[in-house]
Amino acid sequence: MRLSSLPLMMKMDQGLKDILLSAHLSVRYGDKPPVLKNVVLEVRRGEVLGLIGQSGSGKSTLALAILSLLDRKKTQTDGLISFDGVDLLKLREREMRDLRGRKISLVLQSPLSSLNPALKVRTQLNEAWRAHASSQSDCDRVIRKSLDSVSLPSSDEFQAKYPSQMSIGQAQRVLIAMAVMHSPSLMIADEATSALDVITQSEILNLFRDLNRNSGMSILYISHDLASVAGICDRVAILHHGEIVESGPTLKVLTDPRHSYTQQLIASIPRMPAPLSTSQAAGL
């Protein structure tokens, strides 16, 4: 081996170590055309990757495929999903249950649908902890820490609430608290802000960024909202008709789009109207 080739090999090896999730897959439902077609996606350690696409583009299918939540009798998934060096497609359901929520967590769009309306907040957080914890001794401490990390009260009074007694923003924070309890390496946020008002959405986006910076947790942020993606994502991938048509650093992709679909997405962003001049306003 030539010594001159060592730095390049070391750089390549470090690059592989920096990749937490690497997917190269196709998914089809029954005999229908593929929903995902040779999708290639990488999530690096400690980054926020935005996955953008319109409804029906295959975003949620990709998230469910990563978590092995697609009905195996009704879907065909081909390819590779490597997470921390393990091919998730080769794991049995028992092995995936051990990994879901502990190493990879999921935050969905509708918190009030995701939370059990009949159970108190503490009960639901307790069950999320017990699913993967070997001991209950740390449960109370972890619950309080998780609530604190998402800027929710950790008091007994708040933990005694039911989902219907909280705002939708609080309910979404409870879901996020459940998602970070076991300090996962990767969080998948699937349209996690689309049901929120603008102010609450901004707060949740800031929360995602803070969690990423403070814990080093990678986030796959799935959305159709370019503005939210631009606000928190380090890199972005554009999904169109089941294919990744463009990817790269967020600023580069959104300011210098190469694919026609990306250009259409950016052109569709509503522009703020120019303010009226004094004379124009006087004529109203």
User: DSSP secondary-structure letter at 273?
Assistant: P
Q: Which pLDDT does position 16 carry in this prediction?
A: 54
Q: Which pLDDT does position 44 carry in this prediction?
A: 96
pLDDT tens string for the chain (284 positions)? Answer: 454 554 444 444 445 569 999 999 999 998 888 999 999 999 999 999 999 988 888 999 999 999 999 988 889 999 999 999 999 999 999 999 999 989 999 998 888 888 999 999 999 999 999 888 867 788 999 999 999 999 999 999 999 999 999 999 999 999 999 999 999 999 999 998 887 888 889 999 999 999 999 999 999 999 988 888 988 999 999 999 999 999 999 999 999 999 999 999 888 877 655 555 555 545 55
The domain segmentation of the chain, as residue ranges, is: 17-99+223-266
Q: Which pLDDT does position 224 carry in this prediction?
A: 86
From the options 3.40.50.300, 3.30.300.30, 3.30.70.1520, 3.40.640.10, give the CATH code of 17-99+223-266.
3.40.50.300
Query: β-strands 186-190, 19-29: how paired?
Result: unpaired
Note whether 51 and 222 are within 8 A (CB): yes
Tell me the angle at which helices 168-180 and 198-215 cross, rounded to the nearest 10 degrees. Answer: 20
Amino acid letter at 22?
Answer: S
Dihedral over Cα of 136, 141, 147, 149: its sign = negative
CA angle (66, 204, 48) in 5-degree steps = 45
Integer Cα distance of 132 and 128 in angstroms: 8
